[in-house]
Amino acid sequence: MTRPPGLSVRLKLTLSYAAFLFLAGSILLAVVWLFLLRYVPPDATPTLRGFTPGRDDLVRAFMPPAIWALVFLLVFGLLGGWVLAGRMLAPLARITAATRTAAKGSLSHRIDLEGRNDEFRELADSFDGMLARLEAHDAEQRRFAANASHELRTPLAITQTLLEVARNDPDRHSGPLDERLRAVNARAIELTEALLLLSRSDQRAFNRELVDLSLVAEEATETLLPLAEKRGVTLETAGEVATTLGSHPLLLQLVTNLVHNAIVHNLEGGSVRVTTAASAASVLLTVENTGDLLAPDLVATLTEPFQRGTARVRGDSAGVGLGLAIVKSITQAHDGTLELEPLAAGGLRVTVRLPALSRPVVAPRPD
């Protein structure tokens, strides 16, 4: 945005200081004139010892020093105001320089403004915090883009290899090749859809409605029941009504990802327990499963894109490594928190905490 040139803040403050001093001096002289000189007779008055000066004599003697005093106050106000304004605005100059540095792409720069807390220090600290968050987000996006490129390149490379093999051997039966290509293509589509869902939840591009997490949990477990039976895993759903405001498709995807991960990263003959709870401030969704022992440092990385916790995944249930990353993104988009806790006996407990309804939602009356 192009703006016309204007006076600097330092110059404006300087002129304000000088104008204030000049006005204060003028008021003082006016007070002297109104409350002292007006009681003096206009002309000199003879006395036994000589004469008493009149008002005109006092004015002639008083005005030149008064004018010089006003000039001094004006000059002193300009010089002193310029120095004081410069000292007061020095932190703002550092903040402006840091802003320009950040605008050029250097997010690692920090202001680190010293001194006691005031408005400028609070602004500098807030700006440093914003830069830290932007730097972390930028690093996460770069890492995500690199991982996504790698993950997308893999099925494309496999497809290219299969097609080259088919071209070099035209007499080869195409049945197994078709099945393999179909599987690779399905994985690429699954990965692309997961990336789009992650982007949608990050941008919070969804409408909010009344959602009961207990019903969403039942819907997700019913959908994944065949997978659980195939892997010999017991599914259990329990809990109370837990109503929040959010996107039903996204919350269903959240619960589905959690239950799916709990099934595929499990022991044969293991179990998955899904529970819901509600309080005045929040609603809870907890998914707990049996499985291998997980180290806390490994659990801390599970919500990163393309991170997989264990190798106990078979067949077409491997996923694309975005399950918990999508869960985290959907949770944050609903102003909630996500907690992952490894269990002492093996397995993982995942708790999603979402805001409860602060007030009842009244459905619109039909026309």
Backbone phi, psi, residue 343, to 5°: -90, 145
| Mean pLDDT rounded to a whole number for the chain | 78
Verify that 172 and 65 share a domain, yes or no.
Answer: no
The whole-angstrom separation of Cα 32 and Cα 65 is 14
The model carries a pTM of 0.56
Verify that 166 and 272 share a domain, yes or no.
Answer: no
- When comparing pLDDT for 24 and 335, which is higher? 335
Verify that 91 and 175 share a domain, yes or no.
Answer: no
What pLDDT digit, counting tens, does each position of 164-176 carry? 777 777 666 666 7
Predicted local distance difference test score (pLDDT) of residue 40: 64
Range of the domain at 193: 141-202
Average pLDDT over residues 74-81: 83
Verify that 32 and 162 share a domain, yes or no.
Answer: no
Specify the number of domains making up the chain.
3
Which has the minimum average pLDDT: 113-117, 175-179, 228-232?
A: 175-179
Q: Give the β-pairing of 234-239 and 271-278.
A: parallel
Verify that 14 and 64 share a domain, yes or no.
Answer: yes
Is residue 115 domain-resident?
no
Predicted local distance difference test score (pLDDT) of residue 322: 73
Average pLDDT over residues 182-195: 71
Verify that 186 and 220 share a domain, yes or no.
Answer: no
Predicted local distance difference test score (pLDDT) of residue 363: 44
Is residue 310 domain-resident?
yes
Which has the minimum average pLDDT: 3-12, 18-27, 65-74, 261-270?
A: 3-12
99: its two tokens: 């802003």
Amino acid at 215: L
CB 332 within 8 A of CB 254: no
Residue 365 above 60 pLDDT?
Answer: no
Question: Could you give the C-alpha distances from 299 to 164, 215, 230, 260, 348, in angstroms and in order?
Answer: 41, 28, 26, 17, 9
Amino acid at 325: A
- Confidence at 364, pLDDT banded by 50, 70, 90: very low
Where is 274: in which H helix or E strand?
strand 271-278
Predicted local distance difference test score (pLDDT) of residue 234: 94
What pLDDT digit, counting tens, does each position of 286-329 carry? 999 998 888 888 888 888 766 655 544 444 445 556 778 888 88
Strands of the sheet with 337-342, listed across from one edge:
234-239, 271-278, 282-289, 348-355, 337-342
